[in-house]
Amino acid sequence: MPQSVRVSPLLIGAFLALYLIWGSTYLVIRIGVESWPPLMMAGVRFLIAGCLMYGFLRYRGVPAPTWREWKAAFVIGFLLLACGNGGVTLAEHAGVASGVAALAA
């Protein structure tokens, strides 16, 4: 008979936060494209997030990335953020419902 595993309330809270934040992304994009140009909104969003993450990691003592790592990050960022999320943002600006965009992405 398998033993029951006790799940931490902190872990449950972390998953709930992840679901709410990640799930609301498409709704927030839908609201944002009504007043901002779609690619500008996405670019500003990721620029702010990237600066905050970079500052946090530098504060924690993580060494600065090498040029090779910057180049790899640029390629990954372009493919994931510009092509992937940029496409979703343009689609929602063109009228695709946020629920459909969430399922398609």
DSSP 60: T
Residues 6+ away with beta carbon under 8 Å from 32:
41
Whether 18 is covered by a domain: the verdict is yes
Whether 97 is covered by a domain: the verdict is yes
Reduced to 3 states, what is the DSSP secondary structure of residue 66?
coil
Per-residue model confidence (pLDDT) at position 104: 81
Whether 3 is covered by a domain: the verdict is no
Whether 4 is covered by a domain: the verdict is no
**CA 53 – CA 69 distance, rounded (Å):** 16
Whether 2 is covered by a domain: the verdict is no
Whether 99 is covered by a domain: the verdict is yes
**pLDDT range class, residue 57, cuts 50, 70, 90:** very high
Whether 1 is covered by a domain: the verdict is no
Domain count, the chain: 1
Whether 94 is covered by a domain: the verdict is yes
Model confidence pTM above 0.75:
no
**pLDDT range class, residue 38, cuts 50, 70, 90:** very high
Query: Could you tell me the residue range of the domain that residue 50 belongs to?
Result: 9-104
Round the average pLDDT of the chain to a whole number and report it. 91
Give me 32's structure tokens.
């944002």
Per-residue model confidence (pLDDT) at position 5: 84
Per-residue model confidence (pLDDT) at position 1: 59
**pLDDT range class, residue 6, cuts 50, 70, 90:** confident
Could you read off the pLDDT of 60-79 as tens digits, one per residue? Answer: 999 999 999 999 999 999 99
